[in-house]
């Protein structure tokens, strides 16, 4: 039923209207509940809005371009009593940023208006190199694979030393343009995308560099130490933590899920299987590692917030090597929340959806 509703929403948006959307009337002006703002690029109803009915607040979604600065109002959508109302509303006192971008100017605009401490998720699209540099100077450094900025002249040296490397975009997402590079004992090169079967094999150095030049272009890429991670039922797995601020204003791990790769794949981005991390770790013989993984995730969130500015949520992807060592693979500033739904647990899905709104409610309460 939920999937049908979402499909309907997507279809309706293409024609310029959405279900459960009403237009603002003067008799709706009366403010019945405190309002939380959501800054987004799309002026559309939020998915999974059924969870918002548990909030004792109304939600207004608006874009950076729909703000009426001189009037201190926003043109957007207000969620009230299970329906979305389009209209012009007072500027919200607290804002949850959901604009996916590495450019923080939109948040800075809002922060100047309502105060820096009243808008969170100041950065949503993390630069992986900048994150690595920040974390490498802290206590979580032992969890980080060695990482370098990609340069053509550096690659041969690193491949000679490590034999296997991962190439990924500094601003990548969804596992796109991620490759594993291998130098064989005979001096040939193999290139892998998501699977263990080479995309290109037995290349010489010239053909390798030609391929990489075409793939990287002018974009910034990273080289990362390749680590063979542990498997369960002969399939690689990783642990994704959702680390979010709660209704008390504190960082907490709200969910931990395991993405299990398809057979023959070394990445989990296209994972067909998502399960609770506790069960997968126990099955793989690493049940005792969950506490360490969660502690590393909590430290990561606190460190990044101290360096980047106000945050409300991140996701931390971790892997476990065959010897049991925990590694932080990647940190994301705007977690995709459809993953927990794949674990088949509606309560888990709700646990990762509501915390940003609960944290916003906490900030509102502080202002009173």
Report the alpha-carbon distance of residue 39 to residue 96 in Å, rounded: 6
Whether the pLDDT of residue 61 is over 90: the answer is yes
What per-residue confidence (pLDDT) applies to 348? 87
End-to-end CA distance of the chain: 40
What per-residue confidence (pLDDT) applies to 287? 97
What per-residue confidence (pLDDT) applies to 13? 45
Q: Which residues of 310-333 are buried (b: 16+ CB within 10 A; e: fewer)?
A: bbbbbbbbbbbeeeeebbbbbbbb
Report the alpha-carbon distance of residue 343 to residue 14 in Å, rounded: 30
How confident is residue 59, by pLDDT bands cut at 50, 70 and 90? very high
What per-residue confidence (pLDDT) applies to 58? 95
Question: What is the pLDDT averaged over residues 224-251?
Answer: 95
Report the alpha-carbon distance of residue 62 to residue 320 in Å, rounded: 41
What per-residue confidence (pLDDT) applies to 339? 59
Place of tokens 């130490």: 225
Global pTM exceeds 0.75: yes
Listed in order, the ranges of the chain carrying CATH 3.30.470.20 are 128-144+228-367
Listed in order, the ranges of the chain carrying CATH 3.30.1490 are 147-225
Any idea which fold 128-144+228-367 has?
Answer: D-amino Acid Aminotransferase; Chain A, domain 1 (3.30.470)
How confident is residue 188, by pLDDT bands cut at 50, 70 and 90? very high
- The highest-confidence range among 6-20, 98-112, 263-277, 293-307, by mean pLDDT, is 293-307
Report the alpha-carbon distance of residue 122 to residue 111 in Å, rounded: 9
How confident is residue 194, by pLDDT bands cut at 50, 70 and 90? confident
**pLDDT tens-digit series, residues 313-360:** 999 999 999 999 999 999 999 988 865 655 667 888 899 999 999 999
What per-residue confidence (pLDDT) applies to 12? 45
What per-residue confidence (pLDDT) applies to 16? 44
**pLDDT tens-digit series, residues 264-317:** 888 887 777 889 999 999 999 999 999 999 999 999 999 999 999 999 999 999
- Among 1-15, 179-193, 271-285, 308-322, whose mean pLDDT is lowest? 1-15
Whether the pLDDT of residue 235 is over 90: the answer is yes
How confident is residue 137, by pLDDT bands cut at 50, 70 and 90? very high
What per-residue confidence (pLDDT) applies to 43? 87
Any idea which fold 147-225 has?
Answer: Dna Ligase; domain 1 (3.30.1490)
Q: Mean pLDDT for the chain?
A: 89
Whether the pLDDT of residue 21 is over 60: the answer is no
Question: What is the pLDDT averaged over residues 70-85?
Answer: 95
Cα→Cα distances 261→165, 236, 308, Å: 19, 5, 32
Whether the pLDDT of residue 24 is over 90: the answer is no
């Amino acid at each position: 039923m939920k999937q049908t509703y979402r499909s309907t929403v997507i279809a309706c948006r293409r024609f310029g209207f959405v279900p459960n959307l009403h237009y603002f009337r003067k008799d709706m002006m009366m403010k019945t509940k405190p309002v939380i703002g959501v800054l987004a690029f799309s002026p559309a109803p939020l998915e999974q809005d059924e969870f918002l009915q548990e909030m004792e607040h109304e939600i207004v979604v608006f874009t950076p371009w729909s703000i009426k600065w001189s009037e201190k109002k926003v043109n957007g959508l207000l969620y009230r009593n299970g329906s979305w109302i389009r209209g012009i509303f007072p500027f919200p006192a607290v804002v949850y940023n959901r604009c996916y971008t590495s450019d923080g100017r939109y948040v800075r605009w809002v922060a100047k208006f309502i105060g820096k401490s009243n808008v969170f998720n100041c950065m949503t699209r993390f630069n992986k190199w900048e994150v690595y540099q920040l974390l490498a100077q802290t206590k979580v450094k032992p969890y980080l694979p060695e990482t370098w900025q990609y340069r053509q002249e550096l690659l041969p040296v690193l491949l000679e030393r490590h034999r296997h490397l991962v190439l990924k975009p500094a601003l990548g997402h969804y596992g796109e343009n991620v490759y594993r590079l291998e130098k064989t004992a005979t001096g040939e090169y193999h290139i892998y995308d998501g699977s263990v079967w080479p995309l290109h094999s037995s290349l010489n150095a010239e053909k390798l560099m030609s391929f990489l030049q075409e793939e990287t272009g002018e974009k910034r890429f990273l080289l990362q130490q390749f680590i063979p991670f542990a498997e369960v039922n002969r399939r690689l797995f990783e642990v994704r933590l959702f680390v979010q601020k709660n209704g008390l204003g504190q960082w907490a791990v709200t969910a931990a899920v395991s993405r299990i790769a398809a057979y023959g794949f070394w990445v989990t981005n296209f994972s067909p299987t998502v399960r609770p991390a506790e069960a997968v770790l126990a099955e793989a013989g690493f049940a005792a590692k969950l506490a360490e993984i969660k502690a590393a995730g909590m430290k990561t969130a606190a460190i990044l917030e101290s360096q980047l500015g106000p945050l409300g949520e991140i996701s931390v992807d971790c892997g476990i090597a065959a010897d049991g060592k925990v590694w932080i693979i990647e940190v994301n500033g705007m977690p995709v929340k459809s993953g927990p739904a794949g674990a088949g647990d509606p309560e888990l899905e709700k646990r990762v959806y509501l915390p940003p709104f609960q944290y916003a409610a906490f900030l509102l309460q502080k202002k009173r």
